[in-house]
Amino acid sequence: MQPDFIIVGAGSAGCAMADRLSRDGQHRVLVIEFGGSDAGPLIQMPGALSYPMNMPRYDWGYSTEPEPHLGGRRLATPRGKVVGGSSSINGMVYVRGHARDFDHWDASGATGWSYADVLPYFKRMENWTDRGHGGDPDWRGTDGPLHVTRGTRQNPLVKVFVEAGRQAGYPVTDDYNGAQQEGFGAMEQTIHKGRRWSTANAYLKPALKRPNCTMIRAFARRVVIEQGRAVGVEIERGGKVEVIRANREVILAASSINSPKLLMLSGIGPAAHLAEHGIDVIADRAGVGQNLQDHLELYIQMAASQPVSLFRYWNLLGKAYVGARWLFTRTGPGASNQFESAAFVRSAAGVDYPDIQYHFLPLAVRYDGKVAAEGHGFQAHTGPMRSPSRGRVKLTSSDPAADPSILFNYMSEERDWADFRKCIRLTREIFGQEAFAPYRSHEIQPGADVQSDEDLNAFIAEHVESAYHPCGTAKMGAVDDPMAVVDPECRVIGVDGLRVADSSIFPRITNGNLNGPSIMVGEKASDHILGRTPLPRSNAEPWIHLDWQGSQR
């Protein structure tokens, strides 16, 4: 078939667009995905989340250049190479972002993407199933494709974390995705009936049942542009290079690493950089590959004084039990990502909305599944939400098979270090509250002797990890902004018939995990692509701390 729309990438935004663009039966939609099937328990079982993001079968396997401010460390940059993209290998944490994040987008040139504009799309995509467990149904969607739920919160430590936050003087929130993000409360998950609810499950599989939506397995090499218009995609499959043409538009949704790479291979990007690689310049867009942002985090780990953590399952017999129970009943520890409590707090008085996030985990373990040597324990993942550091993605070659060069330039600003030291000290204060007294033994990491700014900086440099939230490399903004790559309707500036709709277009990183906002981009972009009037703006007023200027909590 010759499709009307070609979507490159079956990830968080791409799957949403495949569904929305094909839903009325009027348009033929083709999705190009290089990765393979998402079948199998390692992806579908939430508790197995540390496996797929470390498997070459499911991950592009990218890593950064040596990061100059982290002693030359190369950090892993996993991106999903599988149906569902990174929503099939992520931690399944669901965060919309704070209202002020989107108001900032709108003010910086992404007109029409304020919180009032995007809230209706968050509601349209959600199927929020936790009515009766806290939260405000007026702020949530109840019949969208994306199931959002909360864990069972059976482990006592999960509720102790929230109580400790309350004892430390912070607000408690019923629903950080509702009116009030700030505070301590239950964390939300994209899990449905014990199974990972990726965008492949939520959007793509229903769409592929329609006769007008198709997916092919192929490697996208570049966008084919004739007379200033995108007319198709050059792909490689079965050892052959061919061109698939689109009647209407090509939409890149290939991730904040691969979307800018494809733009540059197609002649769209900084002219001097393209010339270095012998690529003819079609549109000189200085912002392509620039403005790269991420969240970094530390794992602050405590040893437990009694055997209450998930460590009891961290052996062959325990893992067999968890796996078997999940396979047969879709229940038990395997049915949750175990991130069941969260917090969003402000680092200081004068900060108007949260700039620190917490994921709480009733186990002392690394993202790659390596458990702490101490046995029973618990940890908080914490880090600043709005780092001033910016990085870039560049080509290493005009050969589409070559990996791009990724440099986040992490921790390049003095403020980054001060923010992380604040995160550590605030976390110690929370773990020191009376609520943790029955369970607290001693600090594993950083360790009680690591106190001075200098020692904390050394710990940060050695142990800080990516939270795997890259974004910003094809910034959305005003047409006259020299660093903008797409306009507020996701159209690539300077080329007709081409859009980008994924986390690349974020002008600035949002508060929290990026899967939710990435799906929202796919939802809203679909209306722009179809020429529909955007959903009516919301009049909902989000909560801001009354004394944010005078009080940190």
Percent of the chain at pLDDT above 70? 98
CB-based burial label for 431 (10 Å; 0-12, 13-18, 19+): buried
Alpha carbons 222 and 241: distance in angstroms, whole number: 11
First to last CA, the chain: 58
Alpha carbons 484 and 15: distance in angstroms, whole number: 25
pLDDT of 130 reads 67
Mean pLDDT of the chain: 96
Q: Is 92 known as a binding-site position?
A: yes
pLDDT of residue 111 exceeding 70, the answer is yes
Q: Please compute, for residue 271, the number of CA atoms within 13 A of its CA located in the half-sphere on the CB side.
A: 5
- Cis previous bond, 446, omega within 30: yes
CATH number of 152-186+296-384+412-463: 3.30.410.40
Q: Please compute, for residue 254, the number of CA atoms within 13 A of its CA located in the half-sphere on the CB side.
A: 28
| DSSP secondary structure letter of residue 201 | I
* Tens-place pLDDT, residues 288-345: 999 999 999 999 999 999 999 999 998 899 999 999 999 999 999 999 999 999 999 9
Task: Give me the helices (H) in 214-348, please.
Answer: 255-265, 271-276, 316-329
Alpha carbons 106 and 189: distance in angstroms, whole number: 27
* Tens-place pLDDT, residues 127-186: 987 665 666 788 999 999 999 999 999 999 999 999 999 999 999 999 999 999 999 999
pLDDT of 133 reads 67
pLDDT of 132 reads 59
Asked if CATH classification 3.50.50.60 holds for the domain at 1-149+190-292+470-537, the reply, yes or no, is yes
Alpha carbons 539 and 208: distance in angstroms, whole number: 36
How confident is residue 372, by pLDDT bands cut at 50, 70 and 90? confident
Q: Is 91 known as a binding-site position?
A: yes
Residue positions annotated with a catalytic role? 469
Residues 6+ apart with CB under 8 A from 294: 387, 391, 408, 410, 466, 467, 468, 469, 470, 471, 509
Q: Name the segment(s) of the chain with CATH classification 3.50.50.60.
A: 1-149+190-292+470-537
pLDDT of residue 232 exceeding 70, the answer is yes
Alpha carbons 440 and 433: distance in angstroms, whole number: 10
Q: Name the segment(s) of the chain with CATH classification 3.30.410.40.
A: 152-186+296-384+412-463
Q: Is 93 known as a binding-site position?
A: yes
Q: Is 90 known as a binding-site position?
A: yes
Give the residue among 24, 351, 355, 336 at the shortest CA–CA distance from 186. Answer: 336
pLDDT of residue 77 exceeding 70, the answer is yes
